[in-house]
């Protein structure tokens, strides 16, 4: 059923208000006036300063660092909208924190991604709009509809616009680990080029050792693709190995650049010429970092959800 453009509201928390404003600019609507503050004891207070009764509410809040603070703020905003009689509440999560804790890989550990999904549903979220989850099956952790978008078309467009990608015979897309095969294959199909894989061994949460390359990269322009980077350990280790195997040039493309100081230092000293990422999180910036905006993608997803139209075409890569 089509909904009037006047009965939906865009609310933003404190994690990435600039992205929310860019989404609002694309949709040509004003961001809903909302007060989000923190009391001296650390508690979060939220007040929606406009009427949202019967409205379709979209809350833009990537749960990036500080993850716990931003997640709790999201839950409180959802509760405020629910108690204000919002008709439907969609959590717009450009970046979904805790996504890497999606399975039990050791004894007596939690599946925190599922816990977070349960918390959102319990708070009152009725739909989720997200982008490039660490594992696609996380969609099944929610007992509500999930629209899962991809940043790949925007990253690929940047490659073509900047004439980085021209001859498919001279270009190779590389996965920095075995788990990224599906993503790298999708990029290779879209670019009609070859692909390769770097096998890695993780020493710790911040240290990674790249071990060997499967595929031909000698004399090629290489794009390493991954869903996210935080310390840049995986990317820079892969780049060293690829350079040793004769790669001509090395770039990296990630959906979520949750960059800390260690990551920026590693990138600066690495063989990676450019890190291409989206603005899904506010810390996606720094030397060698090129940011591609995804407000149009998220805004169009919001528009179609609100109007009851298909979002399927937005899922396509290439």
> What CATH number does the domain containing 180 carry?
3.40.50.2020
Res 279: pLDDT? 97
Considering the domain boundaries, does residue 76 fall inside one? yes
Closest CA to 126 of 111, 106, 146: 146
Residue 182 CB: number of other CB atoms within 10 A?
A: 9
| Pair (204, 176) in one structural domain | yes
- 2: in domain: no
Same domain, 95 and 157: no
In a domain, 17, yes or no: yes
Pair 123, 82: CB distance under 8 Å: yes
Residues taking part in catalysis? 200
Q: Is residue 20 in a domain?
A: yes
Bridge partners of 44, per DSSP, are 38
pLDDT score recorded for residue 5: 47
Q: What are the angstrom distances between the C-alpha of 128 and each of 48, 132, 184?
A: 20, 13, 25
Domain of 100, in residue numbers: 8-150+295-315
Q: Are residues 121 and 162 in the same domain?
A: no
pLDDT tens sequence for the chain (318 residues)? 444 444 899 999 999 999 999 999 999 999 999 999 999 999 999 999 999 999 999 999 999 999 999 999 999 999 999 999 999 999 999 999 999 999 998 999 999 999 999 999 999 999 999 999 988 889 999 999 999 999 999 999 998 888 887 788 899 999 988 878 888 999 999 899 999 999 866 666 556 565 788 889 999 999 999 999 999 998 998 999 999 999 999 999 999 999 999 999 999 999 999 999 999 999 999 999 999 999 999 999 999 999 999 888 776 665
Say which DSSP state 120 is in: H
Tell me: do 58 and 25 sit in the same domain. Answer: yes
Does residue 208 sit in the same domain as residue 301?
no
- Report the number of distinct structural domains present in the chain: 2
* Nearest CA among 302, 283, 305 for reference residue 18: 283
Give yes or no: residues 263 and 285 share one domain. Answer: yes
Distance CA(172)–CA(183), nearest Å, equals 13
- The pTM is what? 0.91
168 and 86 inside one domain? no
């Amino acid at each position: 059923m089509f909904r009037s453009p006047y009965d939906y509201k865009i609310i933003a928390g404190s994690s990435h208000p600039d992205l929310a404003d860019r989404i609002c600019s694309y949709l040509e609507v004003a961001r809903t006036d909302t007060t989000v503050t923190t009391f001296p004891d650390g508690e979060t207070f939220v007040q929606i300063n406009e009427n949202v009764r019967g409205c379709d509410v979209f809350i833009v809040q990537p749960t990036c660092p500080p993850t716990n603070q931003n997640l709790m703020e999201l839950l409180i905003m959802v509760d405020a909208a629910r108690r204000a009689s919002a008709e439907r509440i969609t959590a717009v999560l450009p970046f979904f924190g805790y996504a890497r804790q999606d399975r039990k890989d050791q004894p007596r550990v939690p599946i925190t991604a599922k816990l977070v999904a349960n918390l959102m549903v319990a708070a009152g979220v009725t739909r989720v709009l997200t982008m490039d989850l660490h594992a696609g099956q996380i969609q099944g952790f929610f007992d509500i509809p999930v629209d899962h978008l991809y940043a790949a078309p925007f990253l690929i467009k940047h490659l073509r616009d900047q004439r980085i990608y021209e001859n498919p015979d001279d270009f190779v897309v590389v996965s920095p680990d075995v788990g990224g095969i599906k993503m790298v294959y999708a990029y290779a199909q879209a670019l009609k080029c070859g692909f390769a894989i770097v096998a890695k061994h993780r020493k710790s949460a911040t240290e990674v050792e790249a071990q060997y390359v499967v595929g031909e990269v000698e004399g090629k322009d290489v794009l390493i693709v991954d869903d996210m980077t935080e310390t840049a350990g995986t990317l820079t280790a892969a780049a060293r190995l690829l350079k040793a195997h004769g790669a001509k040039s090395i770039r990296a493309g990630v959906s979520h650049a949750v960059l800390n100081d260690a990551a920026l230092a590693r990138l600066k000293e690495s063989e990676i010429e450019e890190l291409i990422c989206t603005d899904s999180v506010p810390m996606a910036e720094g030397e060698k970092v090129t940011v591609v905006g995804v407000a149009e993608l998220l805004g169009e997803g919001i528009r179609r959800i609100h109007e009851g139209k298909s979002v399927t075409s937005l899922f396509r890569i290439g």
